[in-house]
Structure 1
């Protein structure tokens, strides 16, 4: 029994050695490997008999694929490798074959207006101190926060009234209003930059328009600017090659108070017929009432 088992094991080992192919791939025309793209080119002629034979075609194609993968892996293992966290990594060389992209090359991130201004002026970002020296208060003041506000109130406890301003005008309220306007302007500019980055259209402000203004918008702006005179633009000259804006200047057409009596009678009779014969769907109203009552009974049954 023991000798039979030994012979059986030896047969299995011998058969495994015979089935296991060598890692060396030898062909008439050597395979060309592009290791970076993990690409293998086989220019050898295919055997038509094996391809046309349904029984041997799959085995033949699998052997060709096996030879190509084996040649590629042999090239990969020849590259310098390093072990990181029990895993072996290799650095692939530069590609030999240039493959086309499926999608276009992604564009770089567009710079904002501030970044463009900083590049032009040579401004570089750096970490700023949390406190700065104030020459008026002779002490260090925070750059932001409620202590900054207290310091500003202590420093600007009085404001000078300009020569051309109203002496009874509250300069503190005026400064607060200007600050609110600046904050709103900055927020609006931020939204405009975001819309520009996402390639969205921004609504126009005022009548001057912006870079997104269309010809129709500019025509409307010209029309309203011409009519902003005492004569409502009656004596304003036309611009060269100017096109009139359509849809403006139309007035409601009123019926004449005097005219054909028969026409007026027919108009009044048409209105009277609509009043005497209301368009009421009695059948639909009855069905709606029945449906509402059934729904109410169904709700009460569940309760």
Structure 2
């Protein structure tokens, strides 16, 4: 308690040593301007990039007007939702009388046509929303240590899908029509020797194959013991049923039998 009292007294003394002004609540001390920035655990958030419409509105000087979520319904004489549950945008789908165009088909249903139109608007809005997100990600994407913008994940996924579909044909994409600006695929390509070669080159290649045939295999499991042509380890495993040489020795000595024949 004595340490806390001394600390509070030192703090109050330092505050009142600053220039003070009088107010209705008492004297107010003017704090000095900060000499350094406060540390942050994370970097400052980047400003949200503008959408395509916001850029167009700013260039044309169009001011944004926020629409209310409620709209007045003359028939119900009440405020109803503009969208969503029992929204005003569904009036054409539930009204009991609808004007049908003169050139409409025989099986034309106004409620189904209105619902289809509303769903198409919703799909268009969602498509535009995804385009704005991808455009914003491309503009304010991550950067490497040199400050160069890295390729976005969406573009990498598209490139991977295109590369996969290019080799899905019977010719492995060799005779497919190339797109404008399409880059060649990266990877190891197969190399084929020419059909006509000189006699010396053909002789050297055949001698290299013959020299490989006389060699002992490098795999321990397939090595031969001495001059035997039979793989002893594999033969023992086959005769003993995979139990090993110990089980084979017991069987040859007569041990492990349950009875006499």
Q: Is the structural similarity TM-score above 0.5?
A: no
After TM superposition, the score normalised by the length of structure 2 is 0.38
Greater relative contact order: 1 or 2 (C-alpha under 8 angstroms, separation 6 or more)? 1
Please identify which structure carries the higher helix content: 1
* Higher Rg of the two aligned structures: 1
